[in-house]
Structure 1
């Protein structure tokens, strides 16, 4: 019975049986296993075990088998690769188990080795690993070209020897993918290439854009959106249509092509071309099905990235339309805008010309991304511009902006439950600074940590100590504080919507070396130097930056007088204004209107204000008249009735001046007017 059982196992068992001596040479083996189907047992008796099974990793397996001989510990479930002869050769997987054989006296006789063909199981596991790798890696970024690089990195060399991804060029720019069949003149960009070979050969470089030659398996796959497994032969009739690709395939010894369209909802996004070369087995039906799943996941990632690219392009366009094209600058302050490229359209900058030759500098950033962030940014920028027209102090303006942002956040919270915007918390940071060239100071308030960097003429760098107020729309009611600091002539101020930029400029020794002659260089050069000084790992996003340089305001450009609190001061004020405007060569009509304006403003200050009273003229891009007193009463415009003997002063002023207003200080108020000068309009 024992002899019969042994004979039956060696002649008919579906698993491989091998008897090996102590030198790992074959004494007897089962001829039913695939490596033995074209050989006889006599051909392999006496030869090494690796020849009987045609094992690829023969050195490692021999080490394990010799360890079994020495220790007696069985080797179980070891999977090895074997290569069968053929054109092309076939690769199989076997699970081997090795047991040491002993004589009745305990002498080592050799090994009994079984080999079970587990090729299908291992290939299934390999496909599963590739699919999991693609699902884990592909689609992590919102760049459609990077999705192709992630795919080829996941499939080479585990699934294919060469992988190529080509995407419709318009899809990379965010456009809708064309419906199949793809027009023959549609350009595709090669976005990714990966080869497991030592000296890879590709027909076209990554980044090349051109249409696919037709008819080829590639053009056909984009016509009917079906995958194809194509055995590659030199006589294939489609090879002359694409000679560069045919030469690359020949040089890489590719024998099988698996071409899969990147498709989504009957639209063609691109193409995945997978090759197997050399001793690798050809693609089969299971490989084709796996490639379809890989391409479907990649197409979804590319389409998501395409949608983001499109939304970002639209949001960036909206942002550019909402932001000023060029800064408003007075004679005493030269400003330039800088946008650090990124993906956040919620950042904004602004410069606002105020009365008294002052300039407001504004930088802010809204949370979120896309069109919603750009739209909210535009609303907040409009609110800041509207509030600045009232000459509010920076802390008061920031408090009112905080209330407006809270209302916008409440509107967002009331959106329907299904609206994804409702789940995005609205917050914003903003800094508002007012530069006054006549006193050489800057007054600032901030929501969030957006303090500027001040580069002084002596090349030292400081950061004004401004208490950071709560971010806008956070629900915190903490008051906003102001800080006033000096800005000497020749100083450079850098405001940024991302505090990492200003923090880097402040703590590094870069800014002094960044612009050792920053008082003489152009602001555009300074902006470039700031960009060059930012490290790659700073991750500042799309920061909005203002670079402003303080220039001297001519002492001859303004004049001020202290007036007595008596009616004769009106005539005195007119006389001094007339003489000063004559010295400035102001035209007669403008000078006459200015005298009337000053008469009315001084009269109002004498009647309703409190001494001391001060008159100031500023000759800048406009002619500014200011009357300052210490009274708390605010003037307001009204239309006098026919029988009224007074009440027409401010009405007259509003008709004569281009603009007028009132700004309050801790010690009183200032009523100002602006008149345009000939040649200064616009």
Structure 2
């Protein structure tokens, strides 16, 4: 074939191909001039289907295709004319006459040049990608639900997360209502939902401005029947319901009907929140003009959204239930009010809630002293609460032996190690086995007679001391290892002055005490904290904590030191001579008379003084000192420098001695021995009743 014939054949075939494309191509083809007006097109796509090519020729492309973002698309096409860079795969929204739903088209455009390089216009192709884009949108909504719903352990917040994920991408209005008992952690009822079961509206979201609500969020309501809502909660099936004004069920629920009409909603999609044939709540989705009605694909998507949300709400319900039980256990394990002497006022305080693993305690000790204890156990829920209760009980038991704070903390550490060992021996399938047990604790003993406090710390729970001159100090106590940790460091004690009017703050969250210790902290700005009522002071400290502190739940003790009345105690140094027993008894008798102690208690005290002083002179090491303290009880103390502990014996009939401590134990309400670096003190306590 000759060269000219080949060129002619190519031109004829190209022209024939162009005719075939414009006459029968399944996608839209458009030739545009430099003003973006249609020069030639086919009518294969829905926007121009049914129209003739002649009546569309010469009109702008955006009018021909009814493109929603017409001006934006024209800017893109002009850029193709100017730069020559092709536009590929740009998705536009198109309105088709007679179709209530917008459609999506993928637009591709290429610049056309003549042989001399002059711009002739554009060649464009339009492909209907509505199904693809709608599927992408549904997948996006589902991904948003999976990403956002269930992030918190609050069943009411799960509803808010759902509503925020579907509006406006999937629905114009979203309402979530949850069975009220489920919000409190109870088991959800079985379907069908019993009539009159209360539900709480937990979420409302709308893209429409100033839309009235039939029921505000937080309202507890009982759904009237029969309506699509009650039917969905009966058979657990979703429903797409056209909202005709004449629908008979609208008259059953006038508030909802009024709100629907105000929003001009045309379709309702109601989906039950259900899990294993139980009912957790209800999701109501609405669409209003110009949004299209819900279809079968939307209904299937809504079922998936509701299933994921129901699972999140049920997980949150389990947490609420466990948290409620843990909080109840904690309340039963913690003291209801502080135990304190007249020389130390104390108040308990919780900040931002109740951590099941946090505890506080005040323990009266011999010699008018008071132990202040604050601690926290790692973990959450019931396990943390029960472990806390066990440790608190151990502290109470050890304090009865009058141990020094560092020794008590060492024995508490041994107990925590044993509890951790028991946890490690649990079956492999028990989730508690994988939770490491650690605990922090501070144990301080306030002595009003010396105006001091002795303290030992496990972890980082150092208290803060506010002095009467508004100086705020943090006792410099070496932090011991956390309880049950693998560290083998010893515990240390620190002794610091606590003048009258001082305020001590112990907290299970170290961020609270750190904030109080700052130069601008609450203890410095609260006026007259050394004289204000203690409960009022607690409130003032909470109000003054900065919002940015970010503390979790915390247990706090606020204590204020008062001076011990000088007439409330008396002490005497005794010579190492047998005659000192009679001298001690005589001095005790006179002091008890001055205190107006009843004769029976006074007589018993004289016997106790006689026996304790005799033991100290016989078995102890001088010097010997007798001290009487009148507080909530009458305390008798005999000190000596020896380290041998007295012990109670049951003397035989033929024994001439050995009955001293037995007599003391019968006369006293309580007795014991505590050791100090300089010796030991044997003490007794008796109930006091005035004459």
Query: What TM-score bracket applies, with the shorter chain setting the length?
Result: over 0.9
Cα offsets for 1:289-317 (capped at 9, x unmatched): 11111111111111101110010000000
Secondary structure of 2:305's aligned partner:
helix
Say if 1:663 and 1:670, in contact at 8 Å, map to a contact too. Answer: yes
Say if 2:522 and 2:545, in contact at 8 Å, map to a contact too. Answer: no
Structure-1 residue corresponding to 2:619: 608
Matches of residues 138-177 of structure 1 in structure 2 within 5 Å? 138-177=149-188
Matches of residues 96-175 of structure 1 in structure 2 within 5 Å? 96-175=107-186
Secondary structure of 1:289's aligned partner:
helix
Residue 561 (structure 2) pairs with residue 526 (structure 1): no
Structure-2 residue corresponding to 1:387: 398
Residue 307 (structure 2) pairs with residue 296 (structure 1): yes
Say if 1:225 and 1:261, in contact at 8 Å, map to a contact too. Answer: yes
Say if 2:596 and 2:690, in contact at 8 Å, map to a contact too. Answer: no
Structure-1 residue corresponding to 2:592: 581
Deviation at 1:257, TM superposition (A): 1.3
Deviation at 1:211, TM superposition (A): 1.1
Structure-2 residue corresponding to 1:205: 216
Residue 410 (structure 2) pairs with residue 399 (structure 1): yes
Cα offsets for 1:418-450 (capped at 9, x unmatched): 100011000000000000000100000000111
Residue 86 (structure 2) pairs with residue 83 (structure 1): no
In 2, distance between residues paired with 1:415 and 1:679?
56
Deviation at 1:108, TM superposition (A): 2.2
The equivalent position to 1:93 in structure 2, one of 98, 104, 107, is 104
Structure-2 residue corresponding to 1:24: 36
In 1, distance between residues paired with 2:214 and 2:16?
62
Cα offsets for 1:557-577 (capped at 9, x unmatched): 000001111111111111001
Secondary structure of 1:90's aligned partner:
coil
Deviation at 1:508, TM superposition (A): 4.4
Residue 662 (structure 2) pairs with residue 657 (structure 1): no
Deviation at 1:198, TM superposition (A): 3.1
The equivalent position to 1:287 in structure 2, one of 292, 298, 306, is 298
Secondary structure of 2:672's aligned partner:
strand
Q: 1:90 to 1:612 in 2, by over 3 A?
A: same
In 2, distance between residues paired with 1:667 and 1:99?
100
Cα offsets for 1:23-78 (capped at 9, x unmatched): 11122221121112343333322221011111111111101111112222221111
Structure-1 residue corresponding to 2:82: 70
Matches of residues 659-678 of structure 1 in structure 2 within 5 Å? 659-678=670-689
Cα offsets for 1:366-386 (capped at 9, x unmatched): 000000000000000000000
The equivalent position to 2:348 in structure 1, one of 334, 337, 342, is 337
Deviation at 1:230, TM superposition (A): 1.3
Structure-2 residue corresponding to 1:39: 51
Deviation at 1:642, TM superposition (A): 1.0
Computed over aligned residues only, the root mean square deviation of the Cα atoms, in angstroms, reads 1.4
In 2, distance between residues paired with 1:25 and 1:615?
114
Deviation at 1:161, TM superposition (A): 1.4
Say if 2:638 and 2:681, in contact at 8 Å, map to a contact too. Answer: yes
In 2, distance between residues paired with 1:6 and 1:511?
84
Q: Structure 2 unaligned runs (5+)?
A: 1-12
In 2, distance between residues paired with 1:500 and 1:577?
49
In 2, distance between residues paired with 1:513 and 1:360?
26
Q: 1:283 to 1:328 in 2, by over 3 A?
A: same
Deviation at 1:152, TM superposition (A): 1.2
Residue 70 (structure 2) pairs with residue 58 (structure 1): yes
Cα offsets for 1:239-287 (capped at 9, x unmatched): 1122222222222222221111111111111111111221212211111
In 1, distance between residues paired with 2:645 and 2:306?
71
Q: Structure 1 unaligned runs (5+)?
A: none
In 1, distance between residues paired with 2:191 and 2:287?
27
Residue 278 (structure 2) pairs with residue 267 (structure 1): yes
In 1, distance between residues paired with 2:560 and 2:116?
100
- Say how many residue pairs are matched: 679
In 1, distance between residues paired with 2:354 and 2:267?
42
Matches of residues 204-603 of structure 1 in structure 2 within 5 Å? 204-342=215-353, 344-603=355-614
Q: 1:58 to 1:247 in 2, by over 3 A?
A: same
Cα offsets for 1:632-672 (capped at 9, x unmatched): 11100111111111100000000000000000011111000
Q: 1:296 to 1:343 in 2, by over 3 A?
A: farther
Structure-2 residue corresponding to 1:48: 60
Structure-1 residue corresponding to 2:655: 644
Cα offsets for 1:481-522 (capped at 9, x unmatched): 000001001111111011100000111413344432112211
In 2, distance between residues paired with 1:277 and 1:29?
35
Say if 1:44 and 1:51, in contact at 8 Å, map to a contact too. Answer: no
In 2, distance between residues paired with 1:206 and 1:299?
19
In 2, distance between residues paired with 1:679 and 1:42?
117
In 1, distance between residues paired with 2:622 and 2:365?
25
Deviation at 1:105, TM superposition (A): 3.5
Say if 1:450 and 1:495, in contact at 8 Å, map to a contact too. Answer: yes
Say if 1:312 and 1:343, in contact at 8 Å, map to a contact too. Answer: no
In 2, distance between residues paired with 1:11 and 1:342?
74
In 2, distance between residues paired with 1:594 and 1:229?
88
Cα offsets for 1:97-146 (capped at 9, x unmatched): 11222234333222221110011111111111111111111111101111
Deviation at 1:343, TM superposition (A): 5.6
Secondary structure of 2:376's aligned partner:
strand
Q: 1:262 to 1:508 in 2, by over 3 A?
A: farther
